[in-house]
Homo-oligomer: A and B are copies of this chain.
Amino acid sequence: MTHSVQLLGISNAIVDVLAHVDEAFLESVGAPIGSMTLIDENQAQAIYSKMGPATEMSGGSVANTIAGVANLGGSTAYIGKVRNDQLGEIFNHDMRSLGVDIRLEPATDGPPTARSHVLISEGGQRTMQTYLGACLGLSLADITESTVGAPKALLLEGYVWDIAEGPALAKKAAAIARKNGTAVALSLSDSYCVERHRESFDDFVRNDADIVVADEEEVYALLGTSGIEPAIKALSTLDALFAVTRSAEGSVIVHGKKVIQQAADVVKTVVDTTGAGDAYSAGFLYGWATDRSLEDCARYGTYCATKVIQQLGARIEKGLLDDFS
């Protein structure tokens, strides 16, 4: 099988609007620290008008991972919906400038490009208030043999289930993948997202996914269990390859009976945490797509995550693994 690219991402195309906030601001928003809340356009305007000066940069969980894989030297493509506005132009520019093949045209009408108001509080914690805008228009019609092609793997994010045709288009993408010898990877996004779509995720993990990347809270939400040992036992009974991140406790790779424990690197100063999972996925999937051992995949993921939490912004730098052996 000849694969057109190594990794295709299908996800919400989002521009991050980042600002540092204090406790009082977070309390006034009422969202749990570290959570991602979906908001509508009016709420988006309300929160933006309360925020201080901000910095804008391309974001989106799986979009960050795709940018990361491209920066590591992988060949990548992307399916996500922006509007033909300035933020959409910024999003597509930032992807294309890394060599990512953008598969959809921007929407010419409908809501504006999505933005996530990223409220950074003490210790680099991120609380996200996300207006999905143009992402809500991603539809079954956008997922075709021609837009998906035959990548070595495709990566969906759980957040896609938050859009109307999301569950159906994920299934359609998986069906095209199966036909073309493409592996299907799923990022579970966040534990609240898993709780919103638990049954559908359970079905997708059992019947469609070849690879699942997640943090331990997301895994617990999926399995309805808690504690890493019971979780590893439960994941061992499933077919998919699981990469589970555990913050300072490192990560665990589970593939049937095979279990790999990877320690975290020590970090002195954490600047901004949430890119960590996306960067881990980038390192892990880059390793997987280039046929490295699962041990190496876990080490790559750890290295990328360690780097990204020491900078502002969720996307790793070019050539990060060049000096890594």
Contacts and interface: CB of A to CB of B under 8 A. Distances in A.
A97 B67 contact: no
A149 interface: no
Interface string A111-137: 010000000000000000000000000
A313 B313 CA distance: 14
Contacts of A192: none
A53 interface: yes
B97 A53 contact: yes
Nearest to A89: B48
Interface string A294-325: 00000000000000000011010010000000
Interface string A82-123: 000111001001100110000000000000100000000000
Contact of A58 (B48, B53, B93): B53
A277 B198 CA distance: 54
A53 B98 contact: yes
Nearest to A96: B49
A94 B56 CA distance: 11
A93 B48 CA distance: 8
Nearest to A95: B53
Contact of A55 (B56, B67, B112, B318): B56
26 contacts: A49-B93, A49-B97, A51-B97, A52-B97, A52-B98, A53-B57, A53-B67, A53-B93, A53-B94, A53-B97, A53-B98, A54-B57, A54-B90, A54-B93, A54-B94, A55-B55, A55-B57, A55-B313, A56-B56, A56-B57, A56-B90, A85-B85, A85-B86, A86-B87, A86-B112, A312-B312
A196 to B, nearest CB: 29
Nearest to A70: B53
Sort chain A's interface into a size bin. 20 to 34
A32 B219 CA distance: 53
Interface of A: 48-49, 51-58, 67, 85-87, 90, 93-94, 97-98, 112, 312-313, 315, 318
A177 B322 CA distance: 59
A272 to B, nearest CB: 13
A98 B53 CA distance: 7
A53 B315 contact: yes
Nearest to A93: B48
A186 to B, nearest CB: 25
Nearest to A90: B56
Given A54-B57, A55-B55, A55-B313, 7 more contacts: A48-B93, A52-B318, A53-B93, A53-B94, A53-B97, A53-B315, A312-B312
Contacts of A57: 53-56
Nearest to A15: B56
Quick one: which of A51, A67, A94 has the most chain B CB within 10 A? A94
Contacts of A67: 53
Contacts of A48: 93
A58 B56 CA distance: 9
A53 B97 CA distance: 6
